[in-house]
């Protein structure tokens, strides 16, 4: 697959690459499509959104219940692995700040506490050029 045009949400849509199909002999396939988070333990402070996702702040991943955080597919719905890893980093930062009594700020911390900002810019169709080297 290759990413082409943007859809209404700002994500590029995958399209098949002609001639790239191949077969692999396997004993078992585990399908992980269309799953939803188990929200049966959610209570009054945790909001359940569209598609059964857990409502959480985009930057801090804090839910409406103090001390409870949610990230990855559980709060955003199906996304990429990279976005799930980034959500894990944001959640870890927020949980550390919460447990040490610090306020949950707009900056996400990682790499030994060095703050980083979270970009709000959408990707472009422009391909990056070669790096000098």
- Looking at residue 28, its pLDDT comes to 81
Among 4-8, 54-58, 72-76, 113-117, which stretch is predicted with the lowest mean pLDDT?
113-117
What span, in angstroms and rounded, lies between the C-alpha atoms of 57 and 72?
12
Q: Is 75 exposed, middle or buried (0-12, 13-18, 19+ CB in 10 A)?
A: buried
Close Cβ partners of 32 (under 8 Å, ≥ 6 residues apart): none
Nearest to 81 by CA among 39, 32, 118, 27: 32
Beta partners for residue 49, in sequence order: none
Residue 80 has pLDDT above 60, yes or no: yes
What span, in angstroms and rounded, lies between the C-alpha atoms of 90 and 62?
10
Cβ atoms of residues 77 and 53 within 8 Å: yes
Averaged pLDDT score across all residues of the chain:
80
Higher-confidence position of 31 and 14? 14
Three-class SS state of 6: strand
Residue 94 has pLDDT above 70, yes or no: yes
Q: Is pTM, for the whole model, over 0.75?
A: no
Q: Is 59 exposed, middle or buried (0-12, 13-18, 19+ CB in 10 A)?
A: middle
Q: DSSP assignment, residue 13?
A: E
């Amino acid at each position: 697959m290759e990413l082409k045009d943007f859809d209404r949400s700002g994500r590029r849509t995958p399209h098949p690459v002609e001639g790239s199909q191949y077969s692999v002999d396997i004993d078992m396939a585990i399908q992980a499509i269309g799953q939803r988070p188990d929200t049966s333990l959610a209570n009054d402070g945790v909001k359940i959104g569209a598609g059964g996702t857990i409502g959480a702040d985009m930057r801090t991943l804090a839910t409406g219940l103090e001390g409870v955080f949610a990230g990855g597919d559980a709060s955003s719905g199906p996304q990429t692995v990279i976005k799930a890893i980034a959500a894990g980093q944001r959640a870890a930062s927020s949980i550390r700040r919460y447990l040490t009594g610090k306020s949950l700020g707009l900056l996400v911390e990682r790499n030994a506490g060095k703050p980083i900002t979270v970009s709000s810019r959408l990707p472009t169709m422009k391909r990056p050029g070669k790096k000098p080297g």
